[in-house]
Structure 1
Amino acid sequence: MYNIPYHGEKDLSKCSFLVTGGAGFIGSNLVAYLLKFGAGKVRVLDNFSTGFMKNLEEFSFYSSFELIEGDIRNLDDCKRAVEGINIVFHEAALGSVPRSIEDPITTNDVNIKGFLNMLIASKDAKVQRMVYAASSSTYGDCNHLPKVEDKIGKPLSPYAITKYVNELYADVFNRLYGLEYIGLRYFNVFGPKQNPDGAYAAVIPKFISSLIAHEEPIINGDGKNSRDFTYIENVVQANIIAALSKNSFAVNQIYNVAYGEQTSLNELAILLRDQLAQVDPDIAGVHFNYGKERNGDIPHSLASIVKAKHLLDYFPYFSIKEGLQETVKSYVDELKAVKVYS
């Protein structure tokens, strides 16, 4: 992964970066890119509530890598993490719509209080820019397709509320204190290092895990719901471009980060089954199991990436089919490695 230098000719060795939630799925992929291309310092702040130490093990050999085990809900941890940092990538959050419905208090505490702490710490440390993980859940009950940044509806979950509040807070901190920000509304990100286990696992690693075990994947509803599935490298690309953009019109803005293509859950399951069947032909005979709709889910999601193309020069490289090929390969390779060493 990461053979394309999305930073162009920028010398990353002169920059110091903080990645909050760097032990998580998106964060650890971002760390991998920064270290591969010679970033001067890459610091991670994580409390390992949803991230994993195994996602950071490969980075321990880099002298430019540093780990702070701490919590964004603790302002002192945030202030310690931003010392000497130029760019903050704020990826730490408590994700999952179902989890927020079951436990709105903790979701609020992490996603709003933690975000505010990071804004305060970044302001006080005079960091150059904060790039943060926003969410497509902010569109709520807006039925307009494709989703455009300035048209949102009412939130459908506590998680969606917290992510919208993040956007409001970031804008206020820019207006009051001059803190530069760019918010990236992610659309259904998938790829290597995404956790397939647990009640709140994302659909793609869950489907892959079930199919490899010859178990019927559970599809919520009738499978006709659709999403704009976005490969992780496209997300890393957007983060790097956002962090380093010199376009004054591009900063202090919100952007959709997606591929701009709709795929139903039925189509997704078939794509995964076909790809995995090339490795294990028996998987071709696995059927799908249909369950009930999830609370807080929207029927369809599709992003307009016109704004990101125009202002950020964001042109995603990987289609869903190409991203799924890379993702399936990574899970199969990991499974083979486990069998060899077990």
Structure 2
Amino acid sequence: MIKVLVTGGAGFIGSNLVNELIKKGYEVTVVDDLSMGSISNLTECINKIKFYKKDVCDEKFMHYVLNKNYDYIYHLAAISSVVASVKRPYKTHKVNNESVVKILEYLRVKELHPKKFLYTSSAAVYGNYPELPKKEDGRVEPLTPYAVDKYASERMTLVYGDLYNMSVVAVRFFNVFGPLQNPDSQYSGVLSIITKCLLEDSEFTLYGNGRQTRDFIYVKDIIKALIFIAEHDKSKGVYNIGYGKKTSLLEIIQVYENITGKKLKINFEKSRPGDVYDSFADISRLLQLGFTVDYKNGLKKGLEKYWRYSYASKKKK
């Protein structure tokens, strides 16, 4: 049986990944300290996985887990918030960079060779350079501790692959949305917060003028891409994962209002430090590898599914 380790597997993206891996019949181990994730995200599969409530910075424990010799390792564990990294830079660094290097080093020293070690980076590494779309070999300008650590960790991952004959790959997520994203966290994705505001008829705080653009991608396509990249023999280097389209916040709010039949109450505030103005992905490398999305009109179709999920979840409470 194929054995898979997912760090950060109780988080938004991690739990969606774990659920899909279980459907494929894999033996899945999850490590998550639940500081940003929730065990409730794994309700459907908790009896089918090995779950450890542990910090990835716990070296002794991570050595114990890594010794189980996995076919695939997905490293998603992170303090996944730009704002949190600005408030707590060193704590963020320990989780988002030091833990990655220590895992890679242990794999090297013990000569453990998973079929693929996949590190999850972020579009935040691109910063505010004006070139669009964002290309994997383009200029980067990480503006926050979060972005700096993501970039450093992806480069270290690739260096370990090149120097020590390890099969590694890194991916840069653009703006992911969908089921299991926590709208109650102040660090959550903007679409989950907008969804909560629409459900509760409450006010949404929009930082900036609303014309800033993002490449929003539905989580189901993110998960499909993660599994595709990890299991593809020829995947290497860095891959953007997005739809390759840019949408402003005001545009996406209008689309969402049309879907829900509701009007969002908006309170405009000044932009926050480290906020990126324009961003969307060049996904040609991923397409050349043979990847295809399931949601061709991903934004609208994804929002429709996300709204139905969110509305149904609220009614159950």
Is the TM value for this pair above 0.5?
A: yes
Give 1:57 deviation, angstroms: 1.9
Q: Distance in 1 between matches of 2:215 and 2:308?
A: 21
Q: C-alpha offsets along residues 9-33 of structure 1, whole Å, 9 cap, x if unaligned?
A: xxxxx31100100000000000000
Indicate the residue corresponding to 1:51 in structure 2.
37
Indicate the residue corresponding to 2:247 in structure 1.
263
69, 85, 95: which is aligned to 2:70? 85
Contact kept, 8 Å, 2:158 with 2:170, in 1: the verdict is no
- Taking a change above 3 Å as real, the CA distance of residues 122 and 231 of structure 1, as seen in their structure-2 partners, is farther
Q: C-alpha offsets along residues 104-161 of structure 1, whole Å, 9 cap, x if unaligned?
A: 1111111011111221233333222101111101112321000010012321111110
Q: C-alpha offsets along residues 157-195 of structure 1, whole Å, 9 cap, x if unaligned?
A: 111100010122112211222111111100011110001
Contact kept, 8 Å, 1:74 with 1:117, in 2: the verdict is no
Contact kept, 8 Å, 1:90 with 1:131, in 2: the verdict is yes
Alignment of 1:75-154 (within 5 A): 75-82=59-66, 83-123=68-108, 124=110, 125-154=112-141
Q: Distance in 2 between matches of 1:138 and 1:122?
A: 26
- Calculate the TM-score normalised by the size of structure 2: 0.95
Contact kept, 8 Å, 2:212 with 2:249, in 1: the verdict is yes
Tell whether 2:219 aligns with 1:232: yes
Q: Distance in 1 between matches of 2:52 and 2:106?
A: 15
Task: Kindly provide the amino acid, as one letter, of the partner of residue 329 in structure 1.
Answer: R
Give 1:334 deviation, angstroms: 0.6
Q: C-alpha offsets along residues 20-55 of structure 1, whole Å, 9 cap, x if unaligned?
A: 00000000000000111211x100011111111111
Tell whether 2:292 aligns with 1:315: yes
Alignment of 1:166-181 (within 5 A): 166-181=153-168
Give 1:214 deviation, angstroms: 0.9
Contact kept, 8 Å, 2:210 with 2:250, in 1: the verdict is yes
Give 1:81 deviation, angstroms: 2.1
Contact kept, 8 Å, 2:128 with 2:277, in 1: the verdict is no
Aligned residue for 1:173, secondary structure, equals helix
Tell whether 2:279 aligns with 1:329: no
Indicate the residue corresponding to 2:276 in structure 1.
298
Contact kept, 8 Å, 1:212 with 1:276, in 2: the verdict is no
Q: Distance in 2 between matches of 1:148 and 1:179?
A: 24
Give 1:268 deviation, angstroms: 1.4
Q: Distance in 2 between matches of 1:66 and 1:121?
A: 21
Task: Kindly provide the amino acid, as one letter, of the partner of residue 204 in structure 2.
Answer: P
Q: Distance in 2 between matches of 1:128 and 1:37?
A: 17
Give 1:275 deviation, angstroms: 1.8
Alignment of 1:212-251 (within 5 A): 212-247=199-234, 250-251=235-236
Q: Using the aligned pairs only, state the percent identity.
A: 33
Unaligned runs of 5+ in 1: 1-13, 278-282
Contact kept, 8 Å, 1:260 with 1:304, in 2: the verdict is yes
Task: Kindly provide the amino acid, as one letter, of the partner of residue 146 in structure 1.
Answer: P
37, 47, 51: which is aligned to 1:61? 47
Q: Distance in 2 between matches of 1:158 and 1:257?
A: 22
Q: Distance in 2 between matches of 1:287 and 1:74?
A: 44
Q: C-alpha offsets along residues 54-75 of structure 1, whole Å, 9 cap, x if unaligned?
A: 111211232xx11122111112
Aligned residue for 1:289, secondary structure, equals strand
Aligned residue for 2:63, secondary structure, equals helix
Indicate the residue corresponding to 1:197 in structure 2.
184
Q: Distance in 2 between matches of 1:243 and 1:122?
A: 17
Give 1:80 deviation, angstroms: 2.1
Aligned residue for 1:58, secondary structure, equals coil
Give 1:270 deviation, angstroms: 1.6
Task: Give the aligned CA root-mean-square deviation in angstroms.
Answer: 1.3
Unaligned runs of 5+ in 2: none
Q: Distance in 2 between matches of 1:308 and 1:95?
A: 23
Contact kept, 8 Å, 1:140 with 1:152, in 2: the verdict is no
Indicate the residue corresponding to 2:22 in structure 1.
35
Give 1:236 deviation, angstroms: 0.5
Q: Distance in 2 between matches of 1:61 and 1:168?
A: 36
Q: Distance in 1 between matches of 2:221 and 2:288?
A: 16
- Calculate the TM-score normalised by the size of structure 1: 0.88
Indicate the residue corresponding to 1:164 in structure 2.
151
Q: Distance in 1 between matches of 2:64 and 2:37?
A: 20
Q: Distance in 1 between matches of 2:57 and 2:119?
A: 16
